[in-house]
C-alpha cells in the first residue's frame, strides 16, 4: 500500500510538470524556426516524457490491481 501511495505522489508531481509545460506550449505557433530553438525543444520533450511516464505508471498500477 505504501508503494502505491509513493507512486501516486510521483504521478501528481508529473502532472504538475506536464501542466507547466502545457501552459508554455498551448499558445505557441509551431513552425520550423520555433523548433530550431533548443529551449522550445526541451519544453516539448519534457512534456512528452512526463505524459508518457504517467501513462506507464497508470498501466503498472492497473496491472498490480489485477
Question: What's the pTM?
Answer: 0.77
Q: What is the pLDDT of residue 52?
A: 94
Per-residue pLDDT of the chain (66 residues; tens, 9 = 90+): 788 888 889 999 999 999 999 999 999 999 999 999 999 999 999 999 999 999 998 888 888 876
Q: What is the pLDDT of residue 42?
A: 95
Q: What is the pLDDT of residue 1?
A: 74
Question: Can you give the residue range of the structural domain that contains 13?
Answer: 2-64
Domains: count for the chain: 1
Looking at the chain, list the stretches that DSSP marks H as alpha helix, in order from N- to C-terminal side: 2-25, 32-36, 38-64
Amino acid at each position: 500500500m505504501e508503494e502505491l501511495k509513493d507512486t501516486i505522489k510521483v504521478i501528481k508531481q508529473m502532472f504538475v510538470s506536464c501542466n507547466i509545460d502545457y501552459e508554455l506550449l498551448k499558445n505557441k505557433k509551431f513552425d520550423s524556426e520555433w523548433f530550431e530553438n533548443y529551449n522550445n525543444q526541451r519544453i516539448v520533450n519534457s512534456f512528452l516524457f512526463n505524459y508518457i511516464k504517467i501513462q506507464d505508471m497508470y498501466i503498472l498500477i492497473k496491472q498490480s490491481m489485477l
